[in-house]
Amino acid sequence: MRSLLPCAVILTAASFIFAAPSPRTSPYKVKESVFPPQDWKIHSPSPPEHNIELKIGLPQPNFHVLEKHLYEVSDPSHPRYGQHLSKAEVEAIVAPHPESLELVTEWLASHGLGEEDITRSPAKDWMTITVPVREAEKMLDTTYHVWKHTTTGESIIRTTSFSLPIHLHDHIDVIQPTTTFARLRSFKSTVHKVDKETGQVVAQSNTPIISASGISVDPSCNTTITVSCLKQLYNAKGITPSATTENSFGITGYLNQFANFQDLQSFYALEVPEAVNSSFRVISVAGGQNNQTLSEAGDEADLDIEFGFGITFPINGTFFTTAGSPPFIPDMNNPTDTNEPYTTWLDFVLAQEEIPLVITTSYGDGEQTVPKSFAIRVCAGFAQLGARGVSLTFSSGDGGVGDGDPDPTTQTCITNDGKNRTEFLPLFPASCPFVTAVGGTTHVPEVAANFSGGGFSNYFTRPSYQNAAVSAFLDNLPKGTFAGLFNRNGRAYPDVAAQADNFQVVAGGEVQLFGGTSAASPTFAGFVALLNDARLKAGLPSLGFLNPLLYSTAISAFNDITSGNAPGCGTEGFNATVGWDPVTGLGTPDVGKLIKLVRYL
């Protein structure tokens, strides 16, 4: 039985925070101001008639209560382990104070926006409006411009500062798009064509190789990764999940990355023959498409669905296709490319009663391109999913300690705080403490992939669940190593790792090899779905938020990766070493051991 506190009790403390009446009008004061990243430059004034979709985040005065519940239901040593909250319970906890709702609604009405113009989230903690840029500039006492990315030519409408009436500052956490300059990118770094007949890049030795789990692995796995290779490597061979309606696995898709059914069937014929003729559900978010013209097949999307659904077959699979991708066309009046697509997806999925129990995402960007206020609110949304029993995995990036760009010639390691310091740049959402970040390995025996992203957040402090593991790493780091280049007190990532190179994929009708932590995240997530299968068969709930389990009871069921490093920012980056490290995290999973463990938690 859940020990969820009554909502009336939860909200009582918050009422004292807002006891003093607020004036209905007040002068404007700057709410948020940022320095734009170095690779974004002003291109032109924003078209005044361009429609922009503004998302207004109201404070969640009881988020600390949700966080407490999240850690209790995710900690295997706690009596409430696995007692996830319902959608309604989560929404009751994160709801804003009534005064915030009243004042912000009143402010919108003063700009001619009635209830019919406002879309409210189920918890009423987000309000969304669509207005012309000229009206947004008036409401926020700011000026928008079209900004262009110097490398890619992408364009967005943003401002570097906005203001609000003083009496609203405590009642609005964030308004976007205003100061966010993130470029949602997939972390797929390498592409090679492969012989269609053999599926191999080079001739193979016939000598068996031994994985970290002590299992003999087909020698071909040293140059070409297949679903069979991953199951051999991670002690999951012979584990067959059930085709029940209870278990579910989800994959997010962005930037017009379309998951091709024909490619999936070809992949199944090549690697998972028992799955031929099976398929997956497609859910469109905000008008997202999934075009099936073979020439439009997305290599990232195909990589994700082929290995994600290939590992988890016959578990119910869902592909979320979310609208929004560059280039932005400045003379259009549609609200296109104004928000980061993953926040659009998050809004959508939080509103659903039924959500896949495991969801993998292979996208992200530099943490500093997302204002801290916005990153905190997005991360809080991930915490809501975790509290409801959903496991979220994110790729850790492909730029080592850099900004996620695998190309050292374009990699940015300069802060955008106005000081232009050289610094290791963490990635978001991988740096959020409420998700599981997945780094990359390669070869057998496994070593760290030299592109595996990792580091320490500048926004989020280190969560208690990883204190022991990360402190041990820092204590053993030679004194003065990378001094001043990273935040020793920040949330450290990745949490875990998996193979991330030479994945044999069918994309656009061709067999190719892909690499990047884009491959590692769906791989690890797929095995989490197998763990959920074992728990559901035993009458237990889903695992939900994974990290407290991974850093405690489950730590012995990981293969520690102790070789390799991931350079970046003109350095050799961190090394993989004994114990947790910011290249491969706790290591790679031994699924057989993990299944035995989670069956009895």
Report yes or no: 270 and 278 within 8 Å, Cβ to Cβ: no
Active-site entry in 32, 300, 302, 398: 300
pLDDT (mean) for 513-536:
97
Averaged pLDDT for residues 378-398: 97
What is 149-206 written as a DSSP string?
ETTT--EEEE-SEEEEEGGGGGG--EEESSS-----EE---EEEE--TTT--SS----
The active-site residue out of 186, 220, 395, 518 is 518
d(CA 351, CA 88) in angstroms, rounded, equals: 10
Whether the Cβ atoms of residue 449 and residue 188 lie closer than 8 Å to each other:
no
Sign of CA dihedral 395, 474, 233, 591: negative
When mean pLDDT is compared across 75-84, 99-108, 142-151, 553-562, the lowest value belongs to 142-151
Count the Cβ atoms, other than its own, within 10 Å of residue 4: 18
Which residues make up each annotated binding site?
560-561, 579, 581
Tell me, what's the pLDDT at 12?
Answer: 37
Confidence (pLDDT) at 186:
84
pLDDT single digits (tens) 110-122 = 999 999 999 999 9
pLDDT of residue 79 exceeding 90: yes
Distance of CA 266 to the CA centre of its chain: 28
Residue 123: pLDDT over 80: yes
What residue numbers does the annotated binding site for Ca(2+) cover? 560-561, 579, 581
Summarised one tens digit per residue, pLDDT across range 448-489 is 999 999 999 999 999 999 999 999 999 999 999 999 999 999
The predicted structure's pLDDT at residue 325: 60
Q: 311 and 530 in contact (C-beta within 8 Å)?
A: yes
Please name the residues in contact with 21: beta carbons below 8 A apart, sequence gap of 6 or more.
none
Mean pLDDT, residues 118-127:
97
Query: Which candidate in 53, 263, 302, 304 is catalytic?
Result: 304
pLDDT tens digits, one per residue of 36-63: 888 899 999 999 998 899 999 999 999 9
- Counting residues of the chain whose pLDDT is more than 90, the rounded percentage is 79
Segment 393-408, tens digit of pLDDT: 999 999 999 877 777 6
Q: How far apart are CA 219 and CA 380, in angstroms?
A: 44
Instruction: Give the pLDDT confidence of 199-213 residue by residue, as tens digits.
Output: 444 334 556 688 777
Catalytic annotation on 304?
A: yes
Placement of tokens 């030519």 in the chain: 153
What are the boundaries of each domain within the chain? 24-60+95-181, 187-329+341-598
**Low-confidence winner among 41-50, 67-76, 228-237, 522-531 (lowest mean pLDDT):** 41-50
187-329+341-598 CATH pick, 3.30.70.360, 3.40.50.720, 3.40.50.200, 3.90.420.10 = 3.40.50.200
Amino acid at 99: E
Residue 296: phi and psi, rounded to 5, are: -100, 5
> Does 398 participate in catalysis according to the annotation?
no
CA atoms of 444 and 289, how far apart (whole Å):
38
Q: Which residue has the higher pLDDT, 346 or 335?
A: 346
Is the distance from CB of 397 to CB of 343 less than 8 angstroms? no
* Residue 5, pLDDT score: 44
Q: How many helices (H) and strands (E) does the chain have?
A: 14, 29
Which burial class, exposed, middle or buried, applies to 304 when counting CB atoms under 10 A from its CB (0-12, 13-18, 19+)? Answer: buried
Q: How far is it, in rounded angstroms, from Cα 582 to Cα 276? A: 38
Examine the pLDDT at 133 and tell me if it is beyond 70: yes
* Residue with the two structure tokens 């300059």: 181
pLDDT of 339 higher than 70? no
Q: What is the pLDDT of residue 184?
A: 82
What pLDDT score does 200 carry? Answer: 43
Distance CA 310, CA 267 (A): 9
pLDDT at 332: 46
Going from the C-alpha of 199 to that of each of 196, 206, 505, the distances in angstroms are 5, 16, 9
Which one has a higher pLDDT value, 96 or 208? 96
pLDDT band at 198; cut points 50, 70, 90: very low
The answer to whether the bond into 314 is cis (omega within 30° of 0) is yes
